Amino acid sequence: MKNILFATSEAVPFIKTGGLADVAGSLPKYFDKEKYDVRVILPKYTCIPEKFRNQMKYVTNFYMDYRYRDVYVGLFEMEYQGVTYYFIDNEEYFSGSRPYTDMFFDLEKFAFFSKAVLAALPVYGFRPDIIHCHDWQTGLIPVHLHDRFQANPFFNGTKTIMTIHNLKFQGVWDVKTIQKISELSDYYFTPDKLEAYKNGNMLKGGIVYADKVTTVSSTYAEEIKTPYYGEGLDGLMRARSNNLVGIVNGIDYDDFNPETDPMIAANYNAGNFRKEKAKNKAALQKELGLAEDPKTFLLGIVSRLTDQKGFDLIKCVMDELCSEDTQLVVLGTGDRQYEDLFRHYAWKYQGRVSANIFYSEELSHKIYAGCDAFLMPSLFEPCGLSQLMSLRYGTVPIVRETGGLKDTVEAYNEYEHTGTGFSFANYNAHEMLGIERYAKDVFYNRKREWNRIVERGMTEDWSWSVSARKYEQLYEEL
Ligand code: ADP
Ligand code: GLC
């Protein structure tokens, strides 16, 4: 039996801002329980819904020496869907209405968290063979294990994995600040360790010191070795390429199942979607005040509204996208300019464009179920989960060929009658528009072909069954 600890800043159902939460909250369920005891540790944010906070059991507390103070560390735990979750409590760091606040404070928050995780494990009595770290927030854990925690026999033989969900976010500030909050000596602040371009870099620490590095698709694992996608760390990624693998994400096939999903108007499957999926479209049009027309092409977007997701392309051709034969529904929050863009177009084209500038799990399911196609023209995309949810719900993805989008959406080939979606290569607004129009043409004029694209997408398997085995393999290699 191997003990594995996932260290993460978010996990569903407790706290979510993006795909990392979906991964950290679903993957642990899919390991072979005979061979792996996988537990998850995360901060006990005060913004975790009350119903979960009430179920957490208090374990104990201690005071940890951090930045020349004795800082309170409360330990809680709870079981959810067969997985043990540990929570680190400290309201000085983990209060507020959101998990992330301003970057400067977040750096210290997660430096504290990373140290507290290692201080807490002996107290919990859970001795991990592998600590599996996710993103910059936990980047200091592999470094601390080589440093102050190395002398502790409790961690004899403990190995680490650093998984990169998004290389853009690295936890960077000037060396002095990162040194202060990490409590690491000068030794660590050279360009072969935590220093990058004269700054301190927490993710870089994790990548340098972890035994293995992974990212969330094979294509992204290759892309980040190039300057265009490498976010300044492409040299390091090349240097670590022998220990770098891409393992594509899956999604939780229980939560995202059109056959049983309680949030959608009508349940359906790959056999009866032709009749039943239409009911979801009608319900969605009605709920959002769109013209209730079963024939009009309904295009959906569920996303963080940031440059990463290709919204500058959309902005560039927004008028053309909102043509009379198209309805557009957007659900998302993020950059002000994009929030306002969609609000403006919802006002300009009432009954045709619906802007939902908020976060809603429920509406997201209704959009995955109710739309004909889903637009995701990302500039870069480590994996992307929304296109997998769309495939599962028979909503045809239109994507740019990058990262996980390239690995999971097979472009429609009208001669061979293959493919599960539509894709374009260059980051160019008119190339995107051309592909969107091509998709629409198939939708309007070759309905049988369209339905076969839908059917192929729905019958693919993007659950964790394959990728969880790949992580197990990696755990064995360590
Ligand atoms: P990223 O992690 O880069 O944001 P992913 O595609 O991996 O992108 O994951 C995004 C996840 O967040 C998906 O589960 C998507 O449905 C969800 N999501 C994004 N924005 C919203 C929103 N406004 N309301 C509900 N869910 C959202
Ligand atoms: C990040 C990436 C996204 C990926 C998610 C989960 O948020 O932007 O592409 O799917 O992490 O790994």
Strand partners, 355: 330
Whether residue 241 is found in the same domain as residue 283? no
Q: Which structural domain range is residue 125 located in?
A: 2-250+465-477
- From residue 444, how far is each of 264, 394, 439, 447, 450 by CA, in Å? 25, 17, 9, 6, 9
- Give the pTM: 0.97
Whether residue 337 is found in the same domain as residue 239? no
Q: Convert 352-365 to b/e letters by CB count within 10 Å (16 or more is b).
A: bbbbbbeeeeebbb
**pLDDT at 50 (0 to 100):** 98
Atom 11 in ligand 2: which residue has the minimum CA distance? 165
Say if ligand 1 is within 6 A of residue 386 CB: yes
Q: Rounded CA gap, 459 and 441, in Å?
A: 23
Whether residue 22 is found in the same domain as residue 107? yes
With residues binned 3-state (H G I as helix, E B as strand, rest as coil), the percentages for the chain, rounded to 5, are: 40, 25, 35
Say if ligand 2 is within 6 A of residue 20 CB: yes
Q: Which of 364, 387, 392 is the best mutation target for the ligand 1 pocket, counting ligand atoms within 8 Å of the beta carbon and taking the most? A: 364
Q: Which of 301, 331, 385 is the best mutation target for the ligand 1 pocket, counting ligand atoms within 8 Å of the beta carbon and taking the most? A: 385
Whether residue 67 is found in the same domain as residue 202? yes
Whether residue 177 is found in the same domain as residue 96? yes
For the segment 74-105, what is each residue's pLDDT rounded down to a tens digit? 999 999 999 999 999 999 999 999 999 999 99
Q: Rounded CA gap, 190 and 195, in Å?
A: 5
Structural domain includes residue 421: yes
Start-to-end CA distance of the chain, whole Å, equals 14
Whether residue 470 is found in the same domain as residue 448? no
Please state, for a pLDDT cut of 70, what percent of the chain lies above it.
100
Which CATH number fits the domain that encloses residue 162?
Answer: 3.40.50.2000
Atom 7 in ligand 2: which residue has the minimum CA distance? 19
Nearest atom of ligand 1 to the alpha carbon of 166: 3
Structural domain includes residue 121: yes
Say if ligand 2 is within 6 A of residue 216 CB: yes
Say if ligand 1 is within 6 A of residue 19 CB: yes
Whether residue 227 is found in the same domain as residue 305? no
Atom 10 in ligand 2: which residue has the minimum CA distance? 384
For the segment 166-192, what is each residue's pLDDT rounded down to a tens digit? 999 999 999 999 999 999 999 999 999
Whether residue 155 is found in the same domain as residue 286? no
- At residue 156, the 3 state secondary structure works out as coil
Query: Which residues 6+ apart lie within 8 Å of 262 measured at CB?
Result: none
Backbone phi, psi, residue 74, to 5°: -95, 140
Nearest atom of ligand 2 to the alpha carbon of 382: 9
Q: Convert 307-328 to b/e letters by CB count within 10 Å (16 or more is b).
A: bbbbbebbeeebeebbeeebbb
- CA 278 / ligand 2 centre spacing (Å): 30
Which stretch of DSSP H or E encloses residue 244? strand 244-246
**pLDDT at 30 (0 to 100):** 97
Query: Which residues 6+ apart lie within 8 Å of 49 measured at CB?
Result: 14
Whether residue 73 is found in the same domain as residue 201? yes
Which structure tokens are listed for 2?
A: 């191997």
**Ligand closest to the CA atom of residue 216:** 2
Provide the pLDDT confidence category of residue 474 given band limits of 50, 70 and 90. Answer: very high
Q: Rounded CA gap, 449 and 441, in Å?
A: 11
